[in-house]
């Protein structure tokens, strides 16, 4: 055998164990709060992505299965602007949003509009195709490596009452909250928001009332694409940049259904509920059922909610009369 | 009537004999080529390793072909993507077998995708020689057409525990495991259980994750509550890095040791603060080592891929070396099988490989009719982000018997 022991390298000894005085030592209540906080953080990301689904469904009745891919593309565009043109994070982020808006218009105009009036199933299949197309295009341009996202957030955690949160996580939660309030006000008070709701309620009547349904469709794609980019940039900052991050789109689907697929409040709350359930179940039940309980718990909650409220927590009830 | 029948039979027999003279008897083998299929993850979650593995294989075969190939035949490797999905691996395998008419598979990537190919290998009697998976399920139970190279995960777990006891001199250490919830994680669990019984250690705390998970906080908190002295990370790069980030966020000070799957520079870079100085059990030689096999590998990589894998110690990673090694083992088997290469002949020839030295890239390789896995060696290394490499802390070791 040719492999000789390498004695020239000193054997480092790492202090075994050492002092382990951490947040987790003192109170079991703290563990509960830390788990809750983690649930809120991941729930905010779920909520941001779920919001994209809702914005499109609300106005156009289409479930957009390319939502995860739009999110991934946004993150890659931001990464590209930052690394290639050395643009600082914030302007790069704004350019990304602009790009997403244009992309939203193009997708609606070129791909979705010709499908207007076609069977819903066909339209959904088109979005599935769009997902594959976007994922492959991103792979062609940037490859399938895993990248560290060049976000300006510090790795040092902020500590409040013994709980830890990273600056990027705090920003994500605040952004999700801000967007929720913004969209809530938008749909409640602005003319455009009301027009969108009217279109969602009944396209024909909205059209007869002088609302440009086409414009509304474009707008919903712009908003959804923008929200997706925001979610993508934050998700990439928290974890890393990779084409497979788009799969979270499907993972978030239970959150969308849970909250009700046509409700903004439902999207955010659905995301939060799924995030919280996953973390609390992972923290307290994995001892008895194994770690897999973390992923299962969301579907369990979904099952119960749909048994009681078939249209989701905040979904619009549709009664079919024959 | 009877004479006519004999005449027809004779003509038929001659046609068969003549046509056999033109085409070689075995699928995928002609007078001057051997076609092999490579299934790897080029676009999925493990693409960062899978692309390197595929390039390692193709560069070895290209170099081999320039030197004359195997018994005058050039090896043609056809690469297909499976994106780490078992279903896609089966589709890719069927395409390679029907369209490309390959002779054998060299490296199907990953435990789950390769497991999906077992029934095909069994039914079609096509060798997977060798697979690119370190799970013991590749050869336990023994499958006639499946071979594997590299230190398996059970041995890796034991090697890590022995490092903790012998080098770090830990007394009665409490060990925890973070792993993926599949055969791979199960292997690590089994290994730790063997080591625990052997060295009489406290119970092992285990937390697992799904391969597409994005949040690991509950796993980190659960393991933290157990207050282990050492945490073994048997995970993919991204999940391992995110686990370390979360641990740093919660100020968890303990010693983390990664299995070979974390032995890429990307892990250290993604993990941030806790990536620096991370201990990783590596099972192949490092790209900057003064070893004949490694010099050959690096030279071939520069020749066929230009700048793709440069700067060398930074970009060439263990999976690239793994791919190269797998191609080398296939070539050795095919060479031993002789000029009349058949699938059965390849299997028999590979089973006869004993103490084959892969030019120092890993320990000696041996197979037998009853064992299609290789004896395991490992070396503890420490990640150095500044120097962009892993620095060996120990020599090569085998599991203590």
pLDDT over 80 (residue A132): yes
Report if residue B19 sits inside a domain: no
Residues in chain A: 322
C-alpha torsion angle, residues A93, A95, A99, A104 (rounded to 10): 60
Between B334 and B1, the more confident residue is B334
φ, ψ at B175 (rounded to 5°): -115, 140
Q: In the prediction, which pLDDT does A151 show?
A: 87
pLDDT band at A254 (very low <50, low <70, confident <90, very high): confident
Report if residue B6 sits inside a domain: no
Q: Are B273 and B383 in contact (CB under 8 A)?
A: no
Q: In the prediction, which pLDDT does A10 show?
A: 34
**DSSP for B179-224?**
EESSHHHHHHHHHHHHHHHHHTPPPPEEEEE-TT----HHHHHHHH
Report if residue B258 sits inside a domain: yes
For residue A79, list chain B residues with Cβ-Cβ distance below 8 A: none
| A49-80 exposure pattern, b = at least 16 Cβ within 10 A, e = fewer | bbbbbbbbbbbbebbbbbbbbbbbbbbbbbbb
The residues in B 51-70 lying below 8 A from A, measured between CB atoms, are 51
Q: Mutate one of B217, B279, B378, B393 to test the A interface: name it (highest A CB count within 10 A).
A: B217
The residues in B 174-203 lying below 8 A from A, measured between CB atoms, are 174, 181
For residue A12, list chain B residues with Cβ-Cβ distance below 8 A: 382, 393
d(CA B37, CA B52): 16
| B252-264 exposure pattern, b = at least 16 Cβ within 10 A, e = fewer | bebbbbbbbbbbb
Q: Are B264 and B343 within one domain?
A: no
Q: Do B238 and A240 touch (CB under 8 A)?
A: yes
Of the partner residues B222, B230, B249, the one whose CB lies closest to the CB of residue A286: B222
For residue A144, list chain B residues with Cβ-Cβ distance below 8 A: 42-44, 47-48, 51
Q: Do B357 and A42 touch (CB under 8 A)?
A: no
Report if residue B26 sits inside a domain: no
Task: Give burial (CB, 10 Å; 0-12/13-18/19+) of B358.
Answer: buried
* Through-space distance between the first and last CA atoms of chain A, rounded to whole angstroms: 81
For residue B42, list chain A residues with Cβ-Cβ distance below 8 A: 144
pLDDT over 80 (residue A317): no
Spatial strand order of the sheet with B128-131 comes to B74-81, B33-40, B104-108, B128-131, B146-148
User: Worst-scoring range by mean pLDDT, B11-20, B23-32, B60-69?
Assistant: B11-20
Report if residue B66 sits inside a domain: yes
Q: In the prediction, which pLDDT does B24 show?
A: 55
Closest listed residue to residue B41, CA positions, set B7, B89, B78: B89
- Give per-residue pLDDT as tens, B323-382: 999 999 999 999 999 999 999 999 999 999 999 999 999 988 999 999 999 888 999 999
pLDDT over 50 (residue A16): no
Q: Do A35 and B396 touch (CB under 8 A)?
A: no
Q: Do A9 and B391 touch (CB under 8 A)?
A: yes
Chain B residue with Cα closest to A235? B214
**DSSP for A228-282?**
HHHHHHHHHHHS-B-GGGGGHHHHTHHHHHHH-TT-HHHHHHHHHHHHHHHHHHH
Q: Is B359 on the interface with A (CB under 8 A)?
A: yes
Q: Are B251 and B385 within one domain?
A: yes
pLDDT over 60 (residue A17): no
Of the partner residues B47, B219, B392, the one whose CB lies closest to the CB of residue A291: B219
Q: Are B295 and B277 within one domain?
A: no
- CATH number at B345 reads 3.40.50.2300
Q: Are B177 and B111 within one domain?
A: no
Domains of chain B: total: 2
**DSSP for B56-97?**
HHHHHHHHHHHTT-BTTBEEEEEEEE-TT-HHHHHHHHHHHH
Q: Is B237 on the interface with A (CB under 8 A)?
A: yes
Helix, strand, coil: what percent of chain B each, to 5? 45, 20, 35
Closest listed residue to residue A76, CA positions, set A251, A242, A249, A231: A242
φ, ψ at B147 (rounded to 5°): -120, 160
**HSE of B60 in the Cβ direction (CA atoms, 13 Å)?**
25
pLDDT over 60 (residue A3): no
Instruction: Name the E strands within chain A.
Output: 158-160, 163-165
Asked whether the CA dihedral B363, B365, B366, B367 is positive or negative, the reply is: positive
Q: Are B228 and B364 within one domain?
A: no
Report if residue B16 sits inside a domain: no
pLDDT over 60 (residue B17): no
The ipTM is: 0.84
Cβ-based neighbour number of residue A183 at 10 Å? 20
Domain region containing B120: 33-145+288-370
pTM metric for this prediction? 0.86
User: Worst-scoring range by mean pLDDT, A57-66, A309-318, B304-313?
Assistant: A309-318
Cβ-based neighbour number of residue B286 at 10 Å? 20
Q: Are B262 and B390 within one domain?
A: yes
- The two tokens of residue B126 are 């096509």
- Give per-residue pLDDT as tens, B186-229: 999 999 999 999 999 999 999 999 877 888 999 999 999 999 99
Q: Are B233 and B347 within one domain?
A: no
Q: Are B78 and B116 within one domain?
A: yes
Q: Are B108 and B172 within one domain?
A: no
Q: Are B83 and B173 within one domain?
A: no
* Through-space distance between the first and last CA atoms of chain B, rounded to whole angstroms: 74
Q: Are B176 and B222 in contact (CB under 8 A)?
A: no
Q: In the prediction, which pLDDT does A247 show?
A: 87
For residue B209, list chain A residues with Cβ-Cβ distance below 8 A: 291, 294
Q: Are B245 and B161 within one domain?
A: yes
Q: What's chain A's average pLDDT?
A: 86
Helix axes A28-60, A191-201, angle to 10 degrees: 70
Report if residue B375 sits inside a domain: no
Q: Are B101 and B248 within one domain?
A: no
Of the partner residues B170, B242, B396, the one whose CB lies closest to the CB of residue A239: B242
Region B90-111: mean pLDDT is: 94
Q: Which residues pair with B206 in a beta bridge?
A: B177
pLDDT band at A197 (very low <50, low <70, confident <90, very high): confident
For residue B325, list chain A residues with Cβ-Cβ distance below 8 A: none
d(CA B108, CA B88): 12
Element (H, E) at A168: helix A167-189
Q: Do B395 and A146 touch (CB under 8 A)?
A: no
Of the partner residues B212, B270, B396, the one whose CB lies closest to the CB of residue A146: B270
Region A78-93: mean pLDDT is: 95
- Give per-residue pLDDT as tens, A151-165: 888 888 999 888 999
DSSP designation for B21: H
CA B285 to the chain's CA centroid: 14
What residues contact A3, with CB distance under 8 A and at least 6 apart?
A: B285, B360, B362, B363, B377, B395, B396
Region B14-25: mean pLDDT is: 53
The residues in B 300-329 lying below 8 A from A, measured between CB atoms, are none
Residues in chain B: 401
pLDDT band at B13 (very low <50, low <70, confident <90, very high): low
Q: Is B276 on the interface with A (CB under 8 A)?
A: no
For residue B224, list chain A residues with Cβ-Cβ distance below 8 A: 22, 24
Q: In the prediction, which pLDDT does B374 show?
A: 87
Report if residue B15 sits inside a domain: no
């Amino acid at each position: 055998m040719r492999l000789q022991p390498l004695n020239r390298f000193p054997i480092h000894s790492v202090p075994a164990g050492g002092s382990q005085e951490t947040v987790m030592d003192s109170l079991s209540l703290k563990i509960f709060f830390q788990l809750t906080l983690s649930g809120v953080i991941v729930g905010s990301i779920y909520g941001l992505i779920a919001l994209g689904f809702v914005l499109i469904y609300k106005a156009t009745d289409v479930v957009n299965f390319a939502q995860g891919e739009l999110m991934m593309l946004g993150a890659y565009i931001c990464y590209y602007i930052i690394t290639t043109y050395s643009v600082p994070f914030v302007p790069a982020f704004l350019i990304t949003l602009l790009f997403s808006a244009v992309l939203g218009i193009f997708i609606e105009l070129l791909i979705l509009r010709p499908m207007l009036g076609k069977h819903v199933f066909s339209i959904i299949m088109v979005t599935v195709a769009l997902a594959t197309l976007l994922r492959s295009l991103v792979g062609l341009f940037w490859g399938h490596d895993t990248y560290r996202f060049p976000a300006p957030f510090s790795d040092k955690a902020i500590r409040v009452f013994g709980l830890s949160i990273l600056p990027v996580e705090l920003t994500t939660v605040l952004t999700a909250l801000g967007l929720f309030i913004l969209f809530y006000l938008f749909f409640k008070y602005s003319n455009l928001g009301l027009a969108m709701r009217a279109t969602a309620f009944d396209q024909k009547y909205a059209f007869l009332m002088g609302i440009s349904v086409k414009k509304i469709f474009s707008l919903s794609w712009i908003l959804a694409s923008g929200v997706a980019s925001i979610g993508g940039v934050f998700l990439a900052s928290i974890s890393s940049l990779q084409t497979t991050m788009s799969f979270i789109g499907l993972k978030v689907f239970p959150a969308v259904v849970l909250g009700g697929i046509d409700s903004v409040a439902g999207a955010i709350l659905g995301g939060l509920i799924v995030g919280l359930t996953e973390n609390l179940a992972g923290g307290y039940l994995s001892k008895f059922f194994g770690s897999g309980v973390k992923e299962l718990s969301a579907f369990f909650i979904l099952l119960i909610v749909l048994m009681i409220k078939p249209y989701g927590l905040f979904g619009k009830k549709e009664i079919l009369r024959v | 009537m009877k004479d006519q029948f004999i005449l027809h039979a004779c003509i038929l027999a001659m046609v068969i004999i003549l046509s056999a003279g033109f085409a070689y008897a075995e699928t995928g083998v002609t007078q001057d080529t051997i076609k092999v299929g490579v299934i790897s993850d080029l676009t999925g979650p493990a693409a960062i390793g899978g692309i390197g593995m595929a390039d390692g294989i193709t560069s070895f075969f290209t170099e081999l072909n320039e030197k004359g190939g195997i018994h005058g035949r050039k090896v043609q490797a056809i690469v297909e993507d499976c994106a780490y999905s078992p279903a896609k691996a089966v589709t890719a395998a069927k395409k390679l077998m029907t369209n490309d008419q390959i002779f054998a598979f060299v490296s199907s990537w990953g435990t789950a995708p390769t497991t999906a190919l077992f029934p095909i290998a069994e039914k079609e009697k096509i060798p997977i020689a060798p697979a690119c998976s370190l799970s013991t399920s590749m050869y336990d139970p023994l499958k006639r057409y499946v071979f594997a190279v590299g230190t398996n995960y059970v041995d890796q777990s034991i090697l890590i525990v022995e490092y903790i006891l012998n080098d770090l001199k830990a007394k009665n250490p409490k060990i925890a495991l973070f792993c993926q919830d599949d055969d791979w994680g199960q292997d690590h669990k089994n290994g730790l259980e063997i080591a625990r019984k052997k060295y009489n250690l406290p119970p092992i705390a285990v937390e697992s994750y799904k391969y597409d998970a994005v949040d690991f906080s509950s796993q980190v908190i659960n393991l933290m509550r157990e207050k282990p002295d050492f945490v073994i990370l048997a995970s993919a790069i991204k999940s391992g890095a995110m686990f370390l980030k979360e641990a740093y966020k919660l100020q968890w000070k303990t010693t983390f040791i990664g299995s070979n799957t974390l032995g890429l520079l990307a892990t250290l870079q993604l993990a941030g603060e806790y990536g620096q100085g991370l201990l990783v059990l590596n099972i192949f030689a490092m790209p900057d080592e003064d070893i004949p096999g490694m010099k050959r590998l690096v030279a071939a990589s520069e020749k066929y891929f230009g700048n793709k894998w440069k700067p060398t110690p930074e970009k060439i990673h263990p999976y690239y070396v793994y791919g190269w090694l797998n191609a080398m083992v296939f070539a050795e088997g095919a060479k031993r099988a002789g000029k009349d290469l058949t699938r059965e002949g390849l299997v028999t020839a590979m089973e006869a490989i004993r103490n084959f030295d892969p030019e120092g890239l890993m320990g000696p390789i041996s197979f037998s009719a009853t064992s299609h896995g290789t004896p395991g060696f490992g070396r503890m290394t420490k990640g150095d982000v500044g120097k962009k490499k892993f620095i060996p802390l120990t020599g090569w070791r085998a599991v203590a018997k």
